[in-house]
Amino acid sequence: MTSIATKTVLRLAHVSKTYGEGESSVEAVHDVSMDLDAGKFIFLMGPSGSGKTTLLMLMGCLLRPTTGSVHIFDEAVSSLAESSLPRVRRSRIGYIFQGFNLFPALTALENVEATLNLKGCRGAEGRAEARNLLERVGLAKRMHHLPEDLSGGEKQRVAVARALAGNPPIILADEPTGMLDSKTGRLISEILRDLAHEEGRLVFMVSHDSRITALADQIFNIEDGCLQDGSRQ
């Protein structure tokens, strides 16, 4: 085993996850090890039910591995107490969901601002930062609209801006383009790529979409919970 390189942001060591117990148990992820570096735009691909979402949740401290460990920088997050996890999620990770998961009663700006508030950035500073983030994802003109008045692409831009709140080093996205047409999906993917390449974040994204794989720096394939050898580096 090599020591964690300074560039390595997220490290999984022999991670397995089994849901349930006994006869009905399902091993969704089996013995996965990976070192993921800052500044990389990484894809995870695989058939339905292969364990992609499970792996993403393990990375994001939403699930605990059954065996193995997850490190963010050099903190062993998989063995932290339950009460410490909100802090890790707040400071280290930005999430983007397939279904956007915006707060429907809040405008685009408020969605981002409320997330900043939660992460400790409040008042005028929070508001200004929320504007900045929305400008960065190209949504300056629609920031006072409610999610229901935004297109799918616009919603996902808001979600990206929200994921950037608090400046997390890791962005985890579960099929963020799944509900978008291919052109919009590509635009969002390009924004995510820029977050990796221009800002040095680790962007780890689950995708089914083979048309955008060319954007990725690295692609992992997973089948039945096991990483496949053919993964492109």
Partner 1 sequence: MVSIARKNLFHDKIRFAVALAGISFAVVLITVQLGVYLAFRSNVSVLIDHTEADIWITAHGLENFDFGRPFSEKKRYEVAEVPGVAWAEKYFLGFGYWKTPGGSQETVQMVGFDPETMVGAPWSIVKGNPQDVKYFNSIFYDEAETNRLGNLPIGSETEINNHRVRVAGIVSGARSFIQSPYIFTSFKNALNLSFINKGNTVYVLVKVAPGYSVKDVQRRIRETVKDVDVYTSPDFSKKTQDYWMINTGTGVALLAVALMGVVIGTVIVANTIYTSTTEHLKEFGTLKAIGASNWDLYVIIIEQALINSVIGFAVGMAISYLVIQAMKKGHLPVLLAPPVLVGIFVLTVLMCLWSSVLSISKVTRIDPAMVFKS
* Amino acid making up residue 156: Q
- Least distance in Å: CB of 143 to ligand ATP? 31
* Residue among 44 and 121 whose Cβ is closer to ligand ATP: 44
Q: Identify the residue among 14, 104, 149, 151 touching partner 1 (CB under 8 A).
A: 104
* Residue among 46 and 126 whose Cβ is closer to Mg ion: 46
- Least distance in Å: CB of 134 to ligand ATP? 29
Nearest to 15 by CA among 45, 35, 40: 35
SS (H, E, C) the chain: CCCCCCCEEEEEEEEEEEECCHHHCEEEEEEEEEEEECCCEEEEECCCCCCHHHHHHHHCCCCCCCEEEEEECCEEHHHCCHHHHHHHHHHHEEEECCCCCCCCCCCHHHHHHHHHHHCCCCHHHHHHHHHHHHHHCCCHHHCCCCHHHCCHHHHHHHHHHHHHCCCCCEEEEECCCCCCCHHHHHHHHHHHHHHHHCCCCEEEEECCCHHHHHHCCEEEEEECCEECCCCEC
Closest residue to Mg ion: CB criterion: 53
- Least distance in Å: CB of 165 to ligand ATP? 25
Binding site for ligand ATP (CB under 6 A): 19-20, 26, 28, 46, 48-54
Nearest to 76 by CA among 94, 86, 88: 88
- Least distance in Å: CB of 66 to ligand ATP? 12
Using the rule CB under 8 A, is 119 a contact of partner 1? yes
- Least distance in Å: CB of 173 to partner 1? 11
Using the rule CB under 5 A, is 53 a contact of Mg ion? yes
- Least distance in Å: CB of 52 to Mg ion? 5
Q: Identify the residue among 4, 18, 35, 62 touching partner 1 (CB under 8 A).
A: 62
Using the rule CB under 5 A, is 177 a contact of Mg ion? no
- Residue with the two structure tokens 């929200």: 162
Q: Identify the residue among 56, 108, 158, 203 touching partner 1 (CB under 8 A).
A: 56
Using the rule CB under 8 A, is 51 a contact of partner 1? no
Q: What are the residues binding partner 1 (CB under 8 A)?
A: 53, 56-57, 60, 62-63, 83, 86-91, 93-95, 97-99, 101, 103-106, 110, 113-115, 117-119, 122-123, 126, 162, 166, 174
Q: What are the residues binding Mg ion (CB under 5 A)?
A: 53
